[in-house]
Amino acid sequence: MAKGLRAYRPIYNEDERMLKRLRLIDLITLNIFWIGLNFLWNSLHSIILPVRILDLAPEHLKGTALGLITFLGLILAMVYQPIIGAISDASTLKWGRRGPFILVGTFFNIVFLTLLLAAGNLWLLFAWYMLLQLSSNTAEGPYQGIIPDLVPQDQRGQASGIKQIIEIQGAVLSTFMAGYLMERSLIWATAGVIIAALLVSVVITAFTVHEQPGDGVKGKPLLSHARDTFNIDMRQYSDYMWLVLSRFFVFVGLTAVQIFSLYFIKDVIGAPNYTELAGSLTAVVGVGILLIVYPAGYLSDRVGRKPLLILSGLIATAGVLLFLTADSLTKLLVYGGTIGLAMGIFLSSNWAFATDLIPGAEAAKYMGISNVATCGGSAAARLGGPLLDFFNARQPGLGYSVLFMGVALCFLLGALVLLRVREGRGSR
């Protein structure tokens, strides 16, 4: 990547990396590529895939089709992302160990997204979706190493807060845009906006983020390092693994709300313009996250990550239980905003906590392991599709009650698991 972070000049010693403090603009440019990734995945999972599946699958199997297709794709991502992240850790490319992967992955994102939108049956939709998972994670896996690579530890809460702001801006804008355009059957206009977001964000990243040439990991061959991706000292990193488990539970709950809300609005609220309203709901959740995410990240640098994470789980549990009682669009949006506030606290503090607990030399590998929880939780949430169809077939609306009670339980478990995590010196 080109020179751009003038504040960043890494100095290494034998024990730890000493990094200079970064300016606000540097923290923003480090994270700008997240807006492109979120334009792609939030619009795809919240709006585009549910609508496309309504076109291609029988009505009574819509939840099953959506759940299983995305479940298998996320299982693939869960395995592949840590491996490609570990490969980037061991990279010796002179352009940097992250940038080349980001550029190649983005190019193929555009190709496979276009083919997915043109798919004429479920099998083709599934095939292009799986390839899109591979290409996107080729970019995202290495990109997750950027903050641990370049940001000093006492700025990581701030950097993670900015990351979440950028991600949520992408989520809010993309889902609102996709809901509006897909309601009007403007599928290629939707694709054009997503592709533009990917291109703009990757170009800014390429010209503003400065990386040192890759130097590998302790002289270890690249393929050998990739084979050892999941070789983790569970005793040494037990706090990190408990944090990963907490993240898994939270993402089961968050993803279930995200992907099945469109069908909830259609079947329970009974709104005729359910596609557009689902985009509005996701936008409201995003605004809730946006309002709190930077203050939460900043605060976690000062008071610690763990108290804020436990608080977020409890708030999210209450929000989902209220969500289950919604009988109007207004209540739905208010309760969705409550969940958004909880997730804003969680997302900024959790990401910063993870960067505190991992070894810096293998940052992308370990952040990829964190994403095992993200993808694994998101994949597990997709299994709610068959569950939804099963209980709805026995009593209309019962499936949604069962589903959201399960979501509330997952948020609560995510908070309770954190009691096992010790918060050390670097986490506050």
Residue 136 · residue 33 · CB < 8 Å: no
Least confident stretch, 47-56, 281-290, 339-348: 281-290
Q: What's the confidence (pLDDT) of residue 226? A: 54
> Does residue 375 fall inside a structural domain?
yes
pTM: 0.66
Question: pLDDT tens across 237-255, in order?
Answer: 788 888 888 889 999 998 8
Question: pLDDT tens across 78-93, in order?
Answer: 888 888 887 887 777 7
What number of helices (H) and strands (E) belong to the chain? 17, 2
DSSP SS3 for 220: strand
Q: What's the confidence (pLDDT) of residue 421? A: 83
Q: For the domain that residue 68 is a member of, what is the CATH number?
A: 1.20.1250.20
DSSP SS3 for 217: strand
> Does residue 374 fall inside a structural domain?
yes
Q: What's the confidence (pLDDT) of residue 43? A: 86
Question: pLDDT tens across 309-347, in order?
Answer: 898 999 999 988 888 887 777 787 888 888 888 888 887
Q: What's the confidence (pLDDT) of residue 132? A: 96
Q: From CA 162, how far away is CA 239, in angstroms rounded?
A: 25
Helix ranges (DSSP H) in 304-427: 306-324, 329-357, 363-382, 384-394, 398-417
> Does residue 11 fall inside a structural domain?
no
Q: What's the confidence (pLDDT) of residue 231? A: 62
Instruction: With cut-offs at 50, 70 and 90, classify the pLDDT of residue 13.
Output: very low
Question: pLDDT tens across 112-165, in order?
Answer: 999 999 988 889 999 999 999 999 999 998 888 887 778 877 777 778 778 877
Residue 146 · residue 89 · CB < 8 Å: no
- Quote the number of domains for the chain: 1
Question: pLDDT tens across 189-239, in order?
Answer: 888 999 999 999 999 988 888 776 655 555 555 555 555 555 666 677 788
CA 112 and chain centroid, separation: 19
Q: From CA 67, how far away is CA 379, in angstroms rounded?
A: 8
> Does residue 228 fall inside a structural domain?
no
DSSP SS3 for 395: coil
DSSP state of 94: T
Q: What's the confidence (pLDDT) of residue 16? A: 41
Q: What's the confidence (pLDDT) of residue 376? A: 80
Q: Which domain holds residue 293?
A: 21-213+233-423
Which among 396, 358, 305 is positioned nearest to 149, based on CA atoms? Answer: 358
> Does residue 222 fall inside a structural domain?
no
**For tokens 């950027």, what's the residue?**
146
Question: pLDDT tens across 66-78, in order?
Answer: 878 888 888 888 8
Question: pLDDT tens across 254-286, in order?
Answer: 888 877 877 888 887 777 777 777 777 777 777
Q: What's the confidence (pLDDT) of residue 204? A: 92
Q: Which residues make beta-bridge pairs with 11?
A: 18
> Does residue 108 fall inside a structural domain?
yes
Residue 150 · residue 5 · CB < 8 Å: yes
> Does residue 10 fall inside a structural domain?
no
Residue 422 confidence (pLDDT) above 70: yes
> Does residue 246 fall inside a structural domain?
yes
